Chains A and B, each alone.
Chain A
Amino acid sequence: MTELALDDRRRHHEAERLFARKRMFSIGLPVVAAIYLVYVFFAFDVPGLVDRARLDNAQILVADSYSHKTHVTLDTRSGEVEVAIEGEIKGLYPDHLVPDWIVQPAAGEARVDLGSGQVAEIRDGAVWLHLPDGKVIEARPTSQGVETTLPEGLDVPVNVSDTRLTVTLDDARLTVTRTRIEVLRYFFGWEMFWFDLQSAYAGRSATELAALAFGGERIDPERHNITGMLRDFWNNRVWRHGDVAWALVETVIMAFIGTFGAAIIALPLGFLAARNFAPSLLARFGLRRVFDFLRGVDGLIWTIVLSRAFGPGPMTGSLAILLTECGTFGKIFSEALENTDNRQIEGVRATGANAVQRYRFGVIPQVMPVLLSQVLYYFESNTRSATIIGAIVGGGIGLFLTQAIITQKDWEQVAYYIVLIIIMVMLMDSFSGWLRTRLIKGRPGK
């Protein structure tokens, strides 16, 4: 009786200890994490970040990623007015395509309708900005600076100094410096996405283009309108669709060669490193360390080391992925092989099979589904890695992306590339998932 009670009490005690431990764990862990985050908050100087953050940059970024601007620029030295999208040479409007909100009565003159009753007038090397309430801002660049006349009681943001005037309106901006008068107006959408302005198909509406595509007169007598359109789209000099498509292919290829090349190399090595197949303990131990080394060195270092030898390009990226994944697959494969069922192999052996046949019919069918599904999984995740590695080795879509970001003005292209990458990764995801179920669960022909 007393013994039972003692036992009971001990059990009770143990249960309480277990509870206490669990409670400590479940409360302690979040508390530790929270304390750590507070430390990181100060170590990363997050409070200081508020001052350093450039919200104007964020505004530019957001506005630029879904809209474009058309610049009307007077170069005071040459006295010529140019109309160009984003102010780039590639976006220069040929005379017959200049939009109708810009009127050019004579050389060096322009009347720019900025919407909602605002008009900028460039004439005689000066600019007059007419606001909807009848007020007029006048600015004239001279060799010393900018002479500005501002009306009283202006309610638009104006930034004025001796050498510069900036007036920011809704969807438009006027900038005057010593060398140029620049009026720009924002529009929704990605301009020149289909055709650049040098193309004969630029500036036409969708119905017009459709009419041209199906019948209609040939714009270029040498080829059909559809081929002409496709060619102009593919060779679009601003968006470079052709180059971007190649870059996407390059990225997928990097992942493809890297992943599957590694799988091919790692399969025999996996046999040598698996406990139940290894010919010698030494080889097994050595190979395991090699796998650890390949994995531990990490893709970044392999990328750097290899780009010294192989130069920039997709081959370097492929090999970097290949080396890292050799380590990963070697480890996974050898572990999968260690978990094989010996009975199947013995069954095959009983029919008088030699070593190769035993592996082919006794081992491979057992491990293939696991290995394939792992390899396909890594293929998908390496597609994403290939964008980053591409940015370092200078190949694929990663290079396009980083370059567009570094120039800090083509945010619409950044947005385009990001969308493309997301689509690519999602496609790879569903493709590898489809292939996995197809190869492993429902075999074809069954």
Chain B
Amino acid sequence: MVDLAAHAPDLRQEYMALTRRRRMYSGILLVIFVVLMVASFDLAESRNAGGFWDGIRNALDFPSSVLSEFWAKRDEFPKNILRFLPSLAETLNIAAASTILGACLAVVLALLSTRGLALWPRLIPLFRRTMDILRAVPEIAVALVLIFVLGGGPVPAMIAIALHTAGALGKLFSEVAENADLKPVEGLASVGAGWAKRMYLGVIPQVAPNFLSYAMLRFEINIRASAILGFVGAGGIGYDLRNTMTFGTGMFDQAAAIFLLLFATIMAVDQISSTLRNRLSATQR
């Protein structure tokens, strides 16, 4: 009791010192952050063709010209929508196929790089690095290089997105698999099951709902990626969008149709996948 009272001023002082130090650290961080932000803004501004403040004033010019043309030719709207449905389907196909292929590869990579499950424990760092690199390579680089070799079309985009997906999902999958219960695996091992069987019967059933939910999230992301890759030349709705945009005024009604299609698709997939994911996590409990 006496001791505590004697130490009280000490404690308080220490606490105040600690708080002050923490505040100082936060203050320094904040100052650094603000300086970086302002400097970056300045640099970006100076290296941009058009200035920020001029741009803000013109920001609505393009949307309004698109909207006015869209309104002027509103009769053609249903026709435009129908015209771009096939390329929308192609974009969706690229996204879906690359998600499936990428997820399959990711499962293998993830299991091979998870401690306790790996077939060759010594090679875990190798598979981890592989996934890191797959994740880091921008899709656009792979896609453009493959277009040079394979010619245009959806396949280069599909491969590019699938590789990236494998890296991104592999990391998430491996985190999930790390928490898997090892008892079924040991049980299977005791009856002489090989590695593939142990994984397929012992691990996959445990982690499948989580894997599926991550894969669905990835599908959403891949639709966007597939549209962007189309824009740089890999087919699908992005390619159509680029054509209408380079044509400029006169085809803005079609651009508007593509905008709407893309927007509606992304929203719809977003909704469906979030419902499905909720249901998946509900069944798990």
Contact = CB atoms under 8 A, between A and B. Distances in A.
Interface of A: 26, 33, 36-37, 40, 43-46, 49, 52-55, 57-58, 61, 249-250, 253-254, 256-257, 260-261, 292, 295-301, 304-306, 308-316, 318-319, 384, 387-388, 391-392, 395, 398, 401-402, 405-406, 408, 414, 417-418, 421-422, 425-426, 429, 443-445
B214 to A, nearest CB: 15
Interface stretch (B7-15, B92-100, B117-125): B92-100
B213 to A, nearest CB: 13
A61 B148 contact: yes
A253 B96 contact: no
B69 interface: no
Given A298-B266, A309-B59, A405 B145 contact: yes
A44 B96 contact: no
Nearest to B150: A53
B267 A402 contact: no
A102 to B, nearest CB: 31
Given A26-B208, A313-B49, 11 more contacts: A43-B90, A49-B151, A53-B151, A250-B43, A260-B33, A305-B62, A306-B59, A309-B50, A316-B48, A388-B228, A425-B135
B140 A313 contact: no
B192 interface: no
A54 B151 CA distance: 7
Contacts of B36: 256
Contact of A301 (B40, B154, B208, B262): B262
B262 A310 contact: no
Interface in B114-166: 132-133, 135-141, 144-145, 148-151, 153-155, 158
Contacts of A318: 44
A308 B138 contact: no
Nearest to A41: B97
B153 A45 contact: yes
A256 B241 CA distance: 28
19 contacts: A36-B96, A254-B44, A256-B37, A292-B267, A301-B263, A308-B61, A309-B50, A310-B50, A310-B51, A314-B47, A315-B51, A315-B52, A316-B48, A318-B44, A384-B138, A391-B140, A402-B140, A405-B148, A422-B133
Nearest to B227: A300
Interface of B: 18, 21-22, 25, 33, 36-37, 40-41, 43-45, 47-52, 55-56, 58-63, 90, 93, 96-97, 100-101, 132-133, 135-141, 144-145, 148-151, 153-155, 158, 205, 208, 224, 227-228, 231-232, 238, 241, 245, 259, 262-263, 266-267, 270
Nearest to A424: B136
Contacts of A249: 43
B47 A388 contact: no
Given A37-B97, A405-B145, A445-B25, A395 B140 contact: no
Contacts of A57: 148-149
B50 A421 contact: no
B22 A300 contact: no
B149 A301 contact: no
Contact of A388 (B60, B139, B154, B208): B139
B263 A296 contact: yes
A401 B167 CA distance: 21
A425 B134 CA distance: 11
B62 A312 contact: no
Contacts of A316: 48, 50, 55
B47 A395 contact: yes
A298 B262 contact: yes
A405 B147 CA distance: 10
A327 to B, nearest CB: 11
Contact of A256 (B40, B50, B133): B40
B266 to A, nearest CB: 5
4 closest Cβ pairs, A-B complex: A313-B48, A311-B50, A311-B49, A310-B55
Contacts of A250: 43-44, 47
A426 B136 contact: yes
Nearest to A249: B43
A118 B112 CA distance: 49
A53 B149 contact: yes
Contact of B48 (A52, A311, A422): A311
B100 to A, nearest CB: 5
A311 B47 CA distance: 11
Given A250-B44, A260-B37, A392-B231, A26 B100 contact: no
Contacts of A408: 148
Nearest to A444: B25
B34 to A, nearest CB: 10
B136 A61 contact: no
Contact of A58 (B22, B62, B149, B262): B149
Given A44-B153, A53-B150, A398 B140 contact: yes
A391 B44 contact: no
Nearest to B149: A58
A422 B96 CA distance: 25
Contacts of A43: 90, 93
Given A61-B148, A292-B267, A309-B61, A426 B228 contact: no
Contact of A52 (B18, B49, B145, B151): B151
B232 A310 contact: no
Contacts of A33: 100
A391 B140 CA distance: 9
Contacts of B58: 308-310
